[in-house]
């Protein structure tokens, strides 16, 4: 709800209006806007002039407008740019100037523009037209313009323009029509999800956020309506069409080009000719405005005034009767052939007649008592169709401007905070002191070390040093972190630590795709395997355009994980992540899966073996040392043995074989427990998700892993129980056989635990008296020989 409330506060603001203009006059009163975006030089500070419909009229680059150099050359360049800006404003006569609040330099730019306007009023008052009388210079948040600048829709709408021009256009349009500008970022790429509205939104999934976005945008759009003819003339105003009731993205995408080809719409009924089904038409038509605007402004065609109201065509007859009755009550000519049209026009010109109308008595007199609410709403629409119910635009106050220009918030900087600052310079003539405050020194408190035990203090100091080192490591990671221009429900611009923290309280199988520390040609998939166990998989991007840094930060045309190639992140989720998670959850829900680290699982199996000495007990567990693999632990006599099982989208890899189901893997293992193990087999050969290198060191396509606890690597053996000191696995020799059925000592005729040296038929070894075992599952439930309970 908090996220939705913040979004509603943003999109439910009416377009900017001057104080002497009635906000209900709608598009005719729209303002010409001069939008300014500060630039460091490359790109230069840019001014864009927009007409009242948001179309670009002119562009000016003035790189020296905010220069602070004291040399004669610098001052001359600044003066030249100031003169160019003055001429720019004189030529176009903007109603308002909006400055993008990026940093303190943009604050100084706002002051410079105010100074230029004041100079114009003093030196050239005749050049200032009526439209510029009392002109305002306002600051605006730069977030939406920045998202638009880097979006694909901006490249389609403003193909030839540079990034800063796109940003300035979005800045001006956001002032003219906030709803349409936000809707522009609700396309297939869903750039709106990158708009940070509240610190708590990180607890919401992208799907939850966009569901709230859709609800808010549908409410706001249908409250305002969509002027069809104006949108036909200005493509960017079509953006809210997908949120009209009854439409949605797919129908809106089909309807828009059809309307553009028609050039103009003269009546709501014409919408039925544009691939709009009857049911969809009934649902949507009440929110689609048809009036003299856009290309139809100069048309001689007849326009029904009711088509520019919220009155549904099904209620037109009721509205016409109401207008006619009021018209006749005024003693007007009832013989007029066009009495209905004349009556509605009369109501618009004399709204006081409808304002005085008492709906209840009128409804009783016309037997419309069941339509009182409808009649009252019709009355309001006849007074003024599509009256704007949005809250009027309010210029940011001093506090709001401060937070916008500095990037601070009330949580990060407020009265009462104690800051440790460093004096940068002192200007004695102006009595000014410039201070610098490093982040992390806030609320610093001195500690009294005198009355403290020296050893205790030393331990505490060491602890603080460790914490400081950890903080510095995180700060270094953030410093080298590069945000990517990617919008996807599963993508987040966060570091590895932040990704693990985000999924820490989620269920196993939760995943996030994030930027990779290896550079802009890589992404990383972070997957929660188990509580405290996370795996990281590299995704290699291909087909990138290396024109500039912006193109490098966009998503590659191809994505590669191992030998698999994907077209986009949706395909990665469908073909790779979702099957992987399904197999992960299947293993975690398996009846023989046990919680705990390897030593804990070993101890549990020892107890089970002690209770059932005739059985070969086994279980699966998580490998904390190699996230993404499972450990198959089994005890034949007294020593736990371990083998690794790899997790793949296609299933589980065990002994170089792939199994789609765990039961098939277990069946194979039980049949081949005594097979010699490949001496070259290691955890690398089975695991799709095993760390090949540490996360900091990159890797060659293998999985990286992180666990909540430290432990040494264990590929096949545990303290030498079932492995060679060299690290190679031991072949199993001797030991107890498969059960008590025939007193056999194992199928290898080695019998070093008292066997009789005879080779037994395997089918005799599974059963107590030579019973045949199942062809699918090796043992029957409750058998006195074999693998213990559960089979």
**pLDDT (0 to 100) of residue 472:** 65
User: Quick one: 181 and 284 in the same domain?
Assistant: no
pLDDT in tens, 596-633: 888 999 999 999 888 888 888 999 999 988 888 999 99
Q: Is residue 722 scored above 50 in pLDDT?
A: no
User: Quick one: 197 and 337 in the same domain?
Assistant: no
pLDDT in tens, 153-199: 998 899 888 889 999 999 999 999 999 999 999 988 889 998 888 88
Whether the link from the prior residue into 43 is cis, omega within 30° of 0, is yes
DSSP class of 247: -
User: Quick one: 97 and 13 in the same domain?
Assistant: yes
**pLDDT (0 to 100) of residue 467:** 64
C-alpha 180/C-alpha 217 separation (Å) is 10
C-alpha 587/C-alpha 594 separation (Å) is 10
User: Quick one: 350 and 490 in the same domain?
Assistant: no
Across 137-151, 489-503, 536-550, 725-739, least confident range: 725-739
- Cα 781–Cα 783–Cα 788 angle in degrees, nearest 5: 80
Mean pLDDT computed over 207-218: 92
Banded pLDDT at 712 (limits 50, 70, 90):
very low
Q: 3-state class of 439 per DSSP?
A: coil
User: Quick one: 201 and 236 in the same domain?
Assistant: no
Among residues of the chain, what percentage have pLDDT more than 70?
A: 76
**pLDDT (0 to 100) of residue 724:** 34
Cβ–Cβ < 8 Å for 146, 140: no
pLDDT in tens, 579-599: 999 999 999 999 999 988 889
**pLDDT (0 to 100) of residue 654:** 92
Quote the mean pLDDT of the chain.
77
**pLDDT (0 to 100) of residue 336:** 54
* Residue predicted with more confidence, 362 or 766: 362
| Full domain range(s) for residue 370 | 313-383
Residue 446 resides in a domain: no
User: Quick one: 191 and 272 in the same domain?
Assistant: no
Q: Are strands 33-37 and 629-635 parallel, antiparallel or unpaired?
A: unpaired
Residue 265 resides in a domain: yes
Residue 29 resides in a domain: yes
Domain tally, the chain:
4
**pLDDT (0 to 100) of residue 480:** 61
Residue 78 resides in a domain: yes
Residue 404 resides in a domain: no
User: Quick one: 132 and 189 in the same domain?
Assistant: yes
Task: Read off the CATH number of the domain in which 678 is found.
Answer: 3.30.505.10
Task: Read off the CATH number of the domain in which 290 is found.
Answer: 1.10.150.850
* Residue predicted with more confidence, 768 or 337: 337
In Å, how far from its chain's centre is CA 125? 49
Q: 3-state class of 609 per DSSP?
A: helix
Cβ–Cβ < 8 Å for 356, 415: no
* Residue predicted with more confidence, 699 or 233: 233
Q: Is residue 785 scored above 70 in pLDDT?
A: no
Burial of 135 (0-12, 13-18, 19+ CB in 10 A): buried
Mean pLDDT computed over 670-674: 87
User: Quick one: 359 and 489 in the same domain?
Assistant: no
C-alpha 38/C-alpha 447 separation (Å) is 44
User: Quick one: 108 and 184 in the same domain?
Assistant: yes
**pLDDT (0 to 100) of residue 473:** 64
Q: How far is CA 202 from CA 493, 499, 744, in A?
A: 11, 11, 61
Residue 334 resides in a domain: yes
User: Quick one: 196 and 262 in the same domain?
Assistant: no
**pLDDT (0 to 100) of residue 466:** 66
DSSP class of 573: I
**pLDDT (0 to 100) of residue 447:** 42
Burial of 90 (0-12, 13-18, 19+ CB in 10 A): middle
C-alpha 759/C-alpha 750 separation (Å) is 9
pLDDT in tens, 506-534: 899 999 999 988 888 889 999 999 988 99
Q: Pick from 357, 363, 355, 358: which is nearest to 383 by CA?
A: 355
Range with the largest mean pLDDT of 70-84, 347-361, 377-391 = 70-84
**pLDDT (0 to 100) of residue 562:** 87
**pLDDT (0 to 100) of residue 183:** 94
pLDDT in tens, 49-107: 999 899 999 999 998 888 877 788 888 988 999 999 999 988 888 999 999 998 888 88
DSSP class of 593: B
CA-based torsion, 689, 590, 620, 531: positive or negative: positive
SS3 per-residue string spanning 724-782:
CCCCCECCCCCCCCCCCCCCCCCCCCCCCCCCCCCCCCHHHHHCCCCCCCCCCCCCCCC
pTM (two decimals):
0.57
Among 383, 404, 425, give the residue marking a domain's end: 383
**pLDDT (0 to 100) of residue 348:** 76
User: Quick one: 500 and 646 in the same domain?
Assistant: yes
Across 203-212, 329-338, 434-443, 728-737, least confident range: 728-737
Query: 432: which strand partners?
Result: 427
Give backbone dihedrals phi and psi of 636, rounded to 5 degrees, phi first. Answer: -95, -45
pLDDT in tens, 455-465: 444 455 555 56
| DSSP3 helix / strand / coil % (the chain, rounded to 5) | 45, 15, 45
User: Quick one: 209 and 238 in the same domain?
Assistant: no
Mean pLDDT computed over 138-164: 90
Q: Are strands 136-141 and 96-101 parallel, antiparallel or unpaired?
A: parallel
**pLDDT (0 to 100) of residue 100:** 93
Among 185, 213, 241, give the residue marking a domain's end: 213
Residue 55 resides in a domain: yes
Q: Is residue 33 scored above 70 in pLDDT?
A: yes
- Other CB atoms within 10 A of residue 551 CB: 12
**pLDDT (0 to 100) of residue 30:** 57
Mean pLDDT computed over 489-493: 88
Mean pLDDT computed over 687-704: 40
DSSP class of 391: B
* Residue predicted with more confidence, 411 or 267: 267
Among 663, 694, 722, give the residue marking a domain's end: 722
720: Cβ contacts below 8 Å, ≥ 6 apart: none
What are the tokens at 738? Answer: 């498969």
**pLDDT (0 to 100) of residue 293:** 87
What are the tokens at 525? Answer: 């998939």
Q: Pick from 210, 217, 130, 142: which is nearest to 172 by CA?
A: 142
- Other CB atoms within 10 A of residue 44 CB: 19
Residue 778 resides in a domain: no
Q: Is residue 444 scored above 50 in pLDDT?
A: no
**pLDDT (0 to 100) of residue 479:** 57
* Residue predicted with more confidence, 127 or 311: 311
Query: 643: which strand partners?
Result: 632
C-alpha 635/C-alpha 736 separation (Å) is 10
Mean pLDDT computed over 113-126: 82
**pLDDT (0 to 100) of residue 28:** 40
């Amino acid at each position: 709800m908090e996220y939705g409330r913040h979004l509603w506060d943003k999109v439910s603001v009416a377009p900017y209006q001057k104080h002497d203009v009635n906000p209900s006059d709608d598009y005719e009163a729209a303002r010409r806007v001069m939008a300014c975006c500060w630039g460091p030089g490359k790109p230069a500070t840019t001014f864009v002039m927009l007409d009242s419909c948001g179309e670009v009229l002119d562009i000016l680059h003035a790189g020296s407008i905010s220069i602070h150099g004291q040399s004669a050359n610098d001052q001359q360049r600044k003066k030249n740019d100031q003169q160019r800006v003055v001429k720019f404003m004189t030529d176009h006569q903007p109603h308002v100037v909006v400055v993008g609040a990026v940093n303190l330099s943009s604050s100084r730019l706002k002051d410079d523009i105010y100074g230029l306007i004041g100079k114009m009023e003093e030196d050239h008052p005749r050049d200032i037209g009526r439209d510029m009388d009392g002109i305002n210079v306002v600051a605006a948040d730069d977030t939406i313009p920045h998202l638009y600048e880097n979006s694909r829709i901006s490249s389609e709408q403003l193909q030839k323009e540079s990034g800063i021009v796109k940003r300035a256009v979005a800045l001006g349009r956001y002032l003219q029509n906030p709803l349409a500008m936000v809707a522009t970022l609700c396309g297939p790429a869903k750039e709106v999800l990158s708009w940070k509205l509240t610190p708590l939104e990180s607890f919401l999934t992208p799907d939850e956020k966009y569901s709230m976005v859709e609800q808010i945008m549908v409410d706001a759009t249908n409250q305002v309506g969509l002027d069809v003819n104006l949108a036909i003339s200005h493509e960017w105003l079509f953006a809210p069409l997908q949120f009209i009731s009854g439409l949605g993205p797919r129908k809106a995408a089909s309807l828009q080009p059809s309307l553009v080809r028609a050039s103009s719409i003269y009546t709501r009924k014409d919408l039925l000719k544009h691939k709009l089904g009857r049911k969809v038409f009934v649902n949507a038509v009440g929110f689609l405005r048809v009036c003299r605007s856009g290309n139809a402004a100069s048309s001689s065609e007849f326009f029904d005034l009711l088509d520019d109201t919220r009155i549904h065509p099904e209620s037109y007859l009721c509205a016409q009767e109401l207008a006619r009755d009021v018209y006749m009550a005024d003693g007007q000519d009832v013989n007029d052939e066009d009495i209905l049209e004349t009556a509605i026009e009369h109501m618009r010109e004399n709204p006081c007649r409808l304002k005085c109308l008492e709906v209840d008595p009128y409804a009783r007199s016309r037997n419309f008592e069941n339509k009182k609410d409808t009649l009252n709403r019709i009355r309001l629409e006849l007074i003024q169709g599509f009256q704007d119910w949005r809250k009027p635009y309010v210029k940011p106050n001093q506090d709001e401007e401060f937070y916008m220009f500095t990037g601070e918030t009330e949580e990060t900087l407020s009265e009462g905070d104690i800051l440790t600052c460093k004096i940068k310079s002192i200007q004695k003539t102006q009595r000014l002191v410039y201070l610098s405050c490093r982040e992390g020194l806030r609320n610093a408190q001195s500690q009294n070390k005198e009355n403290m035990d020296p050893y205790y203090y030393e331990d505490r100091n060491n602890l603080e040093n460790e914490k400081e080192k950890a903080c510095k490591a995180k700060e270094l990671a953030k410093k080298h972190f590069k945000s990517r221009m990617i919008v996807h429900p599963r993508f987040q611009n966060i570091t590895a630590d932040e990704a693990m923290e985000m999924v820490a309280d989620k269920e196993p199988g939760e995943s996030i795709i994030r930027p990779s520390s290896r550079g802009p040609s890589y992404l990383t998939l972070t997957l929660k395997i188990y509580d405290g166990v996370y795996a990281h998989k590299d995704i290699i991007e291909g087909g990138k355009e290396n024109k500039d840094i912006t193109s490098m930060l966009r998503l590659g045309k191809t994505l590669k994980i191992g030998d698999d190639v994907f077209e986009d992140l949706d395909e990665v989720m469908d073909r790779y992540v979702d099957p992987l998670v399904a197999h992960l959850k299947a293993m975690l829900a398996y009846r023989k899966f046990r919680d705990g680290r390897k030593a804990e699982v070993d101890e549990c199996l020892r107890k089970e073996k002690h209770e059932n000495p005739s059985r070969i007990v086994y279980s699966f567990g998580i490998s904390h040392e190699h996230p993404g693999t499972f450990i198959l632990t089994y005890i034949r006599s007294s020593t736990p043995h371990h083998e690794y099982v790899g997790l793949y989208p296609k299933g589980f890899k065990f002994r170089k074989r792939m199994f789609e189901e765990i039961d098939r893997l277990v069946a194979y293992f039980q049949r081949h427990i005594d097979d010699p193990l490949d001496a070259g087999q290691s955890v690398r050969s089975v695991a799709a998700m095993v760390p090949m290198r540490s996360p900091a060191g990159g890797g060659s396509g293998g999985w990286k892993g992180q666990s909540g606890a430290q432990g040494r690597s264990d590929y096949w053996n545990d303290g030498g129980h079932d492995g060679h000191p060299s690290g190679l696995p031991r072949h199993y020799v001797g030991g107890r056989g498969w059960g008590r059925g025939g007193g056999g000592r194992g199928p290898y005729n080695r019998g070093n635990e008292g066997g009789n040296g005879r080779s037994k038929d395997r089918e005799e070894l599974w059963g107590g008296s030579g019973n045949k075992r199942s062809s699918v599952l090796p043992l029957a439930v409750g058998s006195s020989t074999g693998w213990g309970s559960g089979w």
